[in-house]
Chains A and B, each alone.
Chain A
Amino acid sequence: MKDEITREERVTNLKGLGSSRKRVEDARFTQGKGHYVDDINLPGMLTGDFVRSPYAHARVKSINIDAAMALDGVVAVLTAKDLEPLSLHWMPTLAGDKQMVLADGKVLFQGQEVAFVVAKDRYIAADAVELVEVEYEELEVIVDPFKSLQSDVVLREDLDPTAPGAHGPRKHHNHIFTWEVGDEDGTNAVIDDADVVATEEMYYHRTHPCPLEPCGSVASMDKVNGKLTLYGTFQAPHVVRTVASLLSGIEEHNIRVVSPDIGGGFGNKVGVYPGYVCSIVASIVTGVPVKWVEDRMENLMSTAFARDYWMKGKISANKEGKITGLHCHVTADHGAFDACADPTKFPAGFMSICTGSYDIPIAYLGVDGVYTNKAPGGVSYRCSFRVTEAVYFIERMIEVLAIELNMDAAELRRINFIKKEQFPYDSALGWEYDSGDYHTAWDKALKAVNYDGLRKEQAERVAAFKRGETRTIMGIGLSFFTEIVGAGPVKNCDILGMGMFDSCEIRIHPTGSAIARLGTISQGQGHATTFAQILASEIGIPADSITIEEGDTDTAPYGLGTYGSRSTPVAGAATAMAGRKIRAKAQMIAAYLLEVHDDDVEFDVDRFVVKGAPERFKTMGEIAYAAYNQAIPGLEPGLEAVSYYDPPNMTYPFGAYVCVMDIDVDTGVPTIKRFYALDDCGTRINPMVIEGQIHGGLTEALAVALGQEIAYDEMGNCKTATLMDFFLPTAWEVPNFETDFTVTPSPHHPIGAKGVGESPHVGGVPCFSNAVQDAFRPFGNRHTNMPHDHWRIWKTANDLGLHN
């Protein structure tokens, strides 16, 4: 058979690794045919809505549902008393704590779920919510974690104050855990003995992932067949199935969990919320489907916040700037229930990546978790578990140390970077960094922005400002980050006991197309596009001929879901490994068809060829057909494979970012003049998708650094529960970003990919913040807390005397 197209064309036709393949999801999304949970409308479906607490801390004296029940169209009103016989009035959190599903005797944060109204439509449900009479007795409110640890007020009366929590002993009735990593005595000794020590306290404020689509679920209990179907905004549908089974007692095979299209997650949709539980119970009680979808205010007030870390650092160095030690203590405000979404053994996530990209010989991290009267959560908002906090901490400490040393912060980073030849690198706090080439990336970034030129321009601006010729100052924000993503390995990482592997199952159809199902779920990342590309390169079937399906637990293999940039490192690896199993069998089929030994054929793009005789080959299409229509001795018919992948290590993407910012000192308005982002995510699967992820992550970083926060007043009122108060940047505030890359493949990942979705957020937040802080450095600024909104920037200028 004569080959009509070139090998290069065959490669191009696959649209495999490295191709900026257009997304297959976009046809439905651009036509308004996405299918999100609120689009689900089942026959007879009822709507649920919550009565929520207006108080941050109060005893619930009584709940009267009579008036609500009397309203036409109201079917049920559930309270904790109704859930108690089912043991569902409390539920376990992902962090080993428990959380009230509906208020059991008291409320602990404003917006807490008190009763669940089920009615014929959303309007009647909302009316009924108003008719439920709840009598509260206000209690003293604690919103400050430091005061909480001193207070006699017991927030969690359900807990034995002397018994250890899920993560060891508790020091106080409002204390949750102490988590320590590293050598504290050794670190202190080094710091005490150092030439130069910089100390700083910083507050990484509370914020919220705020995906555009709020959280919701539709539960449908089919009493005839005993099957429960649960549709919802789940970043981890399989885990939700297991939890739903354990909580409800319904056998797991009788529960089907479906994550339809998800309108953004960013960590908000990892946890299990009272609304999900209540919709299930309501469907069991009423026998018809029940939908619960929160509104924006409920989303910002009650479902998983992020950050809220009070961080205290000490960093030491010799006179030349070589770092000798790092000490970090965090007071972590977890709100009313410890509902952090971290792997079980890591109550502060991977905060211990806080030594950053630097070769720091000794370090210590201590974290104290604390209860307050705020919403529960502590999820990783567009980052791997607490990595944004860690990277912000070290990238600020580096800047403060640079001030202490009177040294350029870019140079300080350079002389402390882990060197290329040190990888795999064992960090002082116990991580094994898989690969990196930080110096190359840093040099490329600084050259791209003409760093020396920028510093010169900045110095001229300072001089001009001091001469009174301008009211605008200039900041150069630097950040170099190392992420830690792709949890497992199973031996370290689990969620509620489920090991953090992931999975892929592939079926090749007789005509040479395929379907692959994964244990992950896209929330906009474009898995249907990119996982098909991984597979195309592995099995030689064009990506356009491969369907990727996720999110239906009845069909997809068990997986731990999508968060912490784990899809490509874990499920992407499973996809490649399952593809290799397909290829191994295809090789045997090809050898049989070509009448040669298995070892005499080799894979070439989209076919197996006889070694040394390239004109003799069988395409993957021919092989697929043969798998179903020929009896091949020693082989089962069909062509399928499944892989459950337990990663041997995590992956460590890194990057170098530079932000150039102008600040009007009289208005406090920052203007981003330039933002350069170099990312190294290892092997690049789809450059177009990578760039899109970077733009988005940087935009969320801009939001967090420059204004986005969840703030409370002293009474525990959430002051930022609408989009009027909670900053989401518009096209008007967001600049164009310049993207660049280096490629340092992961040595342990089957295709060398590391994951990228969260890197820009992790690296972006300190970069924007450092730009603000750097602008004020020549005027004596050392550190100011985020978010750097216009008021706070103006205040910094004012405090530094720039308005005099």
Chain B
Amino acid sequence: MTNQIVKMTVNGEKKEILAEPRELLIYVLREKLGLTGPHVGCETSHCGACTVEIDGKSVKSCTMFAVQAEGAEITTIEGLGNPDKLHVLQENFKEHHGLQCGYCTPGMITRAHRLLQENPNPTEEEVRFGIAGNICRCTGYQNIVKSILSAAAELNAAKEAAQ
């Protein structure tokens, strides 16, 4: 099939890649842009390991074609923090043992990041509902929920202090 040029902004950087029209976004991110944070767990949109943020929405990149991301702004786990300054969510997942094997973690944190944009002060129930599209096989979610609630409190406290 004919390759197409796809232009998109990934983690703040402008990218131009060649992709087949049938090529899934997750493989372009992982194999053409070297962003191996998002993972493939099911290829059917159920597990959420491939979750990225596209134009302000959580998207499962395993069931979207790369060509559909033309002109999009994409954030992956690699765009949330860096070794010198981790994102508050990343810090809190470490602090509260919100991960074990780490396979779901990039998708989970990326989803939590969007959730807190949409609802900065969620209840436990809202967090549980909000991450129900992301499956974790290791933690039983208890510490993931704790990590997200703690990150929310920290972000809100920082916001208040700034005002």
Q: Which residues of A contact B (CB under 8 A)?
A: 22-23, 25-36, 38-39, 41, 122-123, 210-214, 261-264, 266, 295-296, 523-526, 688-689, 691-692, 695-700, 722-724, 728, 730-732, 734, 736-737
Contacts and interface: CB of A to CB of B under 8 A. Distances in A.
Chain A interface main SS type: loop
A696 B140 contact: yes
A15 to B, nearest CB: 15
A3 B90 CA distance: 37
B61 interface: no
Kindly name the residue among B31, B40, B83 whose own CB sees the greatest number of chain A CB atoms within 10 A: B40
A211 B43 contact: no
Given A123-B20, A263-B101, 9 more contacts: A26-B102, A28-B102, A31-B78, A32-B106, A212-B136, A263-B102, A263-B103, A730-B132, A730-B135
Contacts of A523: 101
A409 B144 CA distance: 35
Contacts of A123: 20, 22-23
Chain B interface main SS type: loop
Kindly name the residue among B22, B31, B77, B97 whose own CB sees the greatest number of chain A CB atoms within 10 A: B97
7 contacts: A30-B90, A31-B81, A34-B103, A123-B23, A700-B137, A723-B46, A723-B47
Interface string B66-80: 000000000011100
B137 A27 contact: no
A699 B95 CA distance: 21
Nearest to B135: A728
B86 A266 contact: no
Interface of B: 20, 22-23, 27, 30-31, 35-44, 46-47, 49, 76-78, 81-83, 86, 90, 93-95, 97, 99-106, 109, 127-129, 131-145
A737 B140 contact: yes
B102 A524 contact: yes
B97 A34 contact: no
A511 to B, nearest CB: 23
A32 B101 contact: no
Contacts of B40: 38, 295
A264 B44 contact: no
A525 B41 contact: no
A210 B41 CA distance: 10
User: Which 10 pairs, one residue from A and one from B, show the smallest C-beta to C-beta distance?
Assistant: A32-B37, A524-B101, A29-B102, A263-B103, A695-B140, A699-B140, A32-B77, A524-B100, A723-B46, A731-B141
A213 B41 contact: yes
A698 B142 CA distance: 11
B44 A261 contact: no
A762 to B, nearest CB: 15
Contacts of A34: 102-103, 105
Given A26-B93, A123-B22, A39 B36 contact: yes
A217 to B, nearest CB: 15
Contact of A212 (B47, B95, B128, B141): B47
Contacts of B127: 731
Contacts of B86: 30-31
B42 A723 contact: yes
Nearest to A523: B101
A31 B97 contact: no
Contact of B132 (A30, A41, A296, A731): A731
Contacts of A29: 99, 101-102, 105
A169 B19 CA distance: 58
Contact of B44 (A25, A28, A296): A296
A35 B106 CA distance: 12
Nearest to A691: B97
A789 to B, nearest CB: 17
A212 B46 contact: no
Contacts of A35: 36
A266 B137 contact: yes
Contacts of B27: 122
Nearest to A695: B140
A399 B44 CA distance: 41
Contact of A695 (B30, B135, B143): B143
A706 to B, nearest CB: 14
A261 B99 CA distance: 14
A295 B62 CA distance: 12
Contact of A296 (B37, B41, B106): B41
Contact of A210 (B102, B137, B144): B137
A731 B46 contact: no
Contacts of A264: 100-101, 103, 137-138
Contacts of A22: 94-95, 97
Nearest to A701: B140
Contacts of A25: 102
A212 B77 contact: no
Contact of A723 (B44, B97, B101, B139): B44
A36 B140 CA distance: 22
Contacts of B109: 30
